[in-house]
Amino acid sequence: MLEIEVKVRVADLKAIREQLPALGAVPDKERYHEINTLFDFRSGILYEKREALRLRAVGKKAFLTFKGTPQKSRKFKVREEFETEVKNLKQLQKILKALGLIPVFRYEKYRTIFKKGRLKICLDETAAGNFIEFEGEREKIVRFSRLLRIFKKEWIKLDYIQLLKKSGKKGSVPYSSSLPSLESPPAKSSS
């Protein structure tokens, strides 16, 4: 599958969230917590090729995702993406280790998802800041972004790993980022 997306840094996610229903976006998934771990070979070949193998844990569910090398695009992040749900996380981790893959980056975020047709609108809270992420067809991203008065000059093509590294959020594995409030339960949303 081809993934087309952009991110935008936002100061007030609540204000954005309140605008979405009036613009025809409907809630798809309420605010939830993710733990994302990227794997690579010791040689760093995936990193060198700008590819990624990510294991995402959401509660008791887990998803393995491969992201291909970004394609050339002036405004959008475009890359192939293949994802599958993992039924046995411990066995998958053993498989990755047996293949010579090691965890190289870990980050956490809270995410709320809205949809407008096939356009996915994610409200993300990360240690690097708050972002809205649009994923879908180019024209739909442009159109919906304009409705929110978000313009192309504000678009970010970087992924969260790049944003976290750029913001200086480092820790274990050898790079890691976590949210300061992970011990506290997610805040209840008003809608």
What pLDDT digit, counting tens, does each position of 131-176 carry?
A: 999 999 999 999 999 999 999 999 999 999 889 988 886 544 544 5
Give domain limits for the chain.
2-177
Cα(191)–Cα(180) distance, integer angstroms? 24
Looking at the predicted structure, is the pLDDT value of residue 187 above 50?
Answer: no
Q: Helix or strand or coil: residue 112?
A: strand
What pLDDT digit, counting tens, does each position of 80-127 carry?
A: 999 999 999 999 999 999 999 999 999 999 999 999 999 999 999 999
pTM of the complete model: 0.86
pLDDT of 170 = 58
The region that residue 147 occupies, defined by phi over 0 for left and psi between -120 and 50 for alpha, beta otherwise, is alpha
Looking at the predicted structure, is the pLDDT value of residue 191 above 50?
Answer: no
CATH number of 2-177: 2.40.320.10
Q: Helix or strand or coil: residue 190?
A: coil
Count CB-CB contacts under 10 A for residue 76: 20
